Amino acid sequence: MAFLDLATHFAGACFLAWFACWIGLRAWRCQAAAHWTERARLLWPARVTAGINLLLLPVMVDQTRRLLFPERTGWWIADGLAACLGALLGTYPLARSVFPELRFRSWLWQTAILCSLWGSVWIAMLAGVFLMPVKLGWGTVGVAGGYLAFNLALSWGLAVRVLRLVGLLRPPDETLERIVAESAARAAMPAPRAWLMGGVQALAFALPTTRQLVLSKRLLEICTEEEASAICAHELAHLAESKATLAGRVLGSLSLFPLIFMVPGIHAFGFGFIPVPLLLAFGLSWFVRWLSRRMERRADQRAAGSQLHEGVYARALEKLYRENQIPAVNVNNRQTHPHLFDRLLAAGFTPDFPRPKAPRKMSVIGWLYLYAFWFVVAARVDALLGRE
């Protein structure tokens, strides 16, 4: 019976995730001849839905089963994990449609590693909530200290070590070493440690806490050395941020930290305490997005100012967005990076396409799943209260 429950959770979440991707990709597939900005705009809602489904579907499938068959208890952790794996597998057709060269084995390996790193932050938060003592005391200090130690370790090199261990990050080749060294020399700063990342996406990002750069192999394949150097200059600007900015980034990475105090806070101050950690978490999340947007504009200015020829940085940016099929206009103005269209204009480059419309936040099937999620959760809570 336990195996049947696991199989049901896995298959149900997998089918729902696949169905959402199949429906969400229909408009994108029908516009195969459209400009890349229009295709990226149509693709965005399906991508957002696929990401949210990794959180929604495990809960929705598990709670639906408990509503329909309340006499079968099961182990919710194992059932939830099976549903998570099913939802993840159901997104593979979307990834393969966007990146046709992607193979299942490499996708499964890379996705499992990256999702594990991302999920470890949430698992640490949930572990903190469950392990936190009811009463404030030294136990509270121990749990909070453990949570802080794990999150700070991720920021200060643990994530990089994991990615190196599994082979997603490799030492730089001669080309990347030269690009980083020359870019750092123009910026009048020491050359940082650089890593070459595998995968099918064209990526570049900085790790300010450890002063390291990561550029993907695909980026070096589609960009000229001059364009890659301009992207590198943008990331070097992040490594040159002030200590106050670095402290702000670290603080923002702890946006989930207040939530682990929910149980002792309610015990000490009553249910009126619930909004306090929620507001603190929201405030930290808002702060880090605001800080990131500000630093991205600053890094764009540095990169455009250091380019050897006019328009190089803008062309490199457009290549990355086009390769990864990221919309040229964000869904709103609250994203970490400014709109690509505005970034190109700010870099002194006039795009050869009109300003696109903003994409929808989520696909229609995604909204239906979200409403179904809240309906199932509300029905489950009502059923539990009715038993009492």
Digit-coded pLDDT (tens) for 135-165: 878 888 999 999 999 999 988 989 999 999 9
353 φψ region: left (φ > 0), alpha (ψ -120 to 50), beta (else):
beta
Instruction: Tell me the one-letter amino acid at 30.
Output: C
Q: In the prediction, which pLDDT does 76 show?
A: 66
Exposure of 250 in the CB half-sphere (CA atoms within 13 A): 19
pLDDT at 58: 87
**pTM higher than 0.75, yes or no?**
yes
Distances (CA, A) of 146 to 141, 156, 250, 257: 8, 15, 16, 11
Report how far residue 145's alpha carbon sits from residue 48's, in angstroms, rounded to the nearest whole number.
34
Q: Are 156 and 209 in contact (CB under 8 A)?
A: yes
Mutual orientation of helices 364-387 and 36-68 as an angle, nearest 10°? 20
Note whether 16 and 53 are within 8 A (CB): yes
pLDDT band (50, 70, 90) for residue 342: very high
**pLDDT at residue 39 is higher than 80:** yes
Which is it for the CA torsion 264, 138, 147, 206, positive or negative? positive
Which tens digits make up the pLDDT trace of 282-341?
A: 999 999 999 999 999 999 999 988 887 888 999 999 999 999 999 999 999 888 899 999
- SS3 of the chain: the string is CHHHHHHHHHHHHHHHHHHHHHHHCHHHHHCCCCCHHHHHHHHHHHHHHHHHHHHHHHHHHHHHHHHHCCCCCCCHHHHHHHHHHHHHHHCHHHHHHHCCCCCHHHHHHHHHHHHHHHHHHHHHHHHHHHHCCCCCCHHHHHHHHHHHHHHHHHHHHHHHHHHHHCCCEECCCHHHHHHHHHHHHHCCCCCCEEEEECCCCCCEEEECCCCEEEEEHHHHHHCCHHHHHHHHHHHHHHHCCCHHHHHHHHHHCCCCHHHHHHHHHHHHHCHHHCHHHHHHHHHHHHHHHHHHHHHHHHHHHHHHHHCCCCCHHHHHHHHHHHHHCCCCCCCCCCCCCCCHHHHHHHCCCCCCCCCCCCCCCCCHHHHHHHHHHHHHHHHHHHHHHHHC
| Chain segment 348-382, per-residue pLDDT in tens | 889 989 999 999 999 999 999 999 989 888 887 77
What is the DSSP pairing of strand 193-197 with strand 169-170?
antiparallel
Residue 114 pLDDT: 83
pLDDT recorded at residue 71: 63
User: Residue 126: pLDDT above 80?
Assistant: yes
**The predicted structure's pLDDT at residue 229:** 94
pLDDT, position 272:
85
Separation between Cα atoms, residue 161 and residue 146, nearest integer Å: 19
